[in-house]
Structure 1
């Protein structure tokens, strides 16, 4: 009887061990399967982020180009050429002055994919902490750029636009868009005299200073986006 009981106990223990081993193997296989699914989803997410960053770089490049044009025109109406040498203010045309006075870039690179991932709580699928940290820093940089753009816009609306209302014949600028109108009776803008007034020069110089600051910020942001895109490409190569 004792021998039978001992054999039954050994058999039962063996069965229990086999069941436990089977459960552990099943759990391990399930975890491996979940890991594969998570990695596959992470790769999709990283590819989407990479594409979004490339789109943001394209937008950033256009915005930097616009700011460079604004800086060049503002320098021109203040009497400086691209190399810093003096130029005659009497050569300034309506189109040149109107763009220097009126143009102001407010756009920012858009990161919809990252925003959507955050809102859906899927950002945690990215295991590379350096990537998520750089996205956090990039968000902060975008907010700082927005602050600078808003400040420039406020100054423009409260001070710079005053020139269009009180110091020039703005009607002549309509010809630039409405080719068919006759402005032969409209007084000509004397930009040579206008841009020798210290108040006007100061306002245009303020706009130039703020535009140069925005341009510097845009270029730094462009580098941040480029570095982050390169980091994601490196991570994708590792995962693939």
Structure 2
């Protein structure tokens, strides 16, 4: 093609058709420019297609990570709600009425049974560290995803405070009155299976009476209730965030 153009220009010069030569040269330049512009458009289109493909892969990975986080948080939240309900029952327990010691053992087992949500952030961390967050075209979704780590901060702080309080206060007080092995025997969680179960032991019912009437125990239970309440409240906020963000992700995935 280039050789053909060269021959045409040479023939025009040889024939002395200078004006036609210049017109032809200008036309040739225009054609070259148009060709370059078309090539750039094609290249830009290809790059855009590649970016859209990467964006879709990112969104699909985020969808799976957020779904997994919702599933795990639902499980942890149910465990913590069961713990709170057990604390409330102990705080409101009427020890003047007849009761089975196994009932108290079961409630103690539940207050020992709390969970901490450990969010999966592998995909999100990779997206941020690689700078690929900018590939997500939806500015609202980008903003929300940038808030994800901050949403976890308050929860993690409260979870640490709850754990520290539990370690330093709950077992030491309970050990004075009740056998922990009896409470452990009542625990029934899918993620807490033991090959060996330690048998229950009998202790005087007066131990349970003293436990239920102790002001120290009452204060401990109330403090624990407050700490656990902050955790479960934050779990509900995180759950709302996760579900709303998942909806945004779903809306940006091309079916």
Quickly name the TM-score band, shorter chain normalised.
0.7 to 0.9
Contact conserved, 1:77 with 1:100, CA < 8 A, in 2?
no
Distance 1:89 1:41 in 2: 66
1:109 aligns to 2:127 (yes or no): no
**Higher Cα Rg, which structure:** 2
1:83 aligns to what? none
- Structure 2: stretches of 5+ with no match in the other structure: 1-12, 187-193
Give the alignment of 1:54-73 within 5 angstroms: 54-73=67-86
Paired residue for 2:216, among 181, 195, 199?
Answer: 199
Distance 1:182 1:32 in 2: 72
Distance 1:4 1:44 in 2: 60
Deviations 1:112-136 (A, max 9, x none): 2212222222222111111121112
Give the alignment of 1:119-134 within 5 angstroms: 119-134=129-144
The 3-state SS of whatever aligns with 2:17 is helix
2:158 aligns to what? 148
Call closer, same or farther: CA 1:150–1:174 in 2, change over 3 Å: closer
Call closer, same or farther: CA 1:189–1:17 in 2, change over 3 Å: farther
TM-score normalised by length of structure 1: 0.84
What is the CA distance between 1:209 and its match in structure 2?
A: 1.3
- Structure 1: stretches of 5+ with no match in the other structure: 81-85
What is the CA distance between 1:92 and its match in structure 2?
A: 4.9
RMSD: 2.6
Contact conserved, 1:169 with 1:188, CA < 8 A, in 2?
no
How many aligned positions are there? Answer: 231
Distance 1:203 1:156 in 2: 9
Paired residue for 1:160, among 161, 170, 174?
Answer: 170
- Once the two structures are overlaid, the 10-residue window that deviates more, 65-74 or 115-124, is 115-124
The 3-state SS of whatever aligns with 1:190 is helix
What is the CA distance between 1:154 and its match in structure 2?
A: 1.1
2:33 aligns to what? 20
Contact conserved, 2:87 with 2:221, CA < 8 A, in 1?
yes
Contact conserved, 1:89 with 1:192, CA < 8 A, in 2?
no
Paired residue for 1:213, among 230, 233, 242?
Answer: 230
Distance 1:182 1:10 in 2: 104
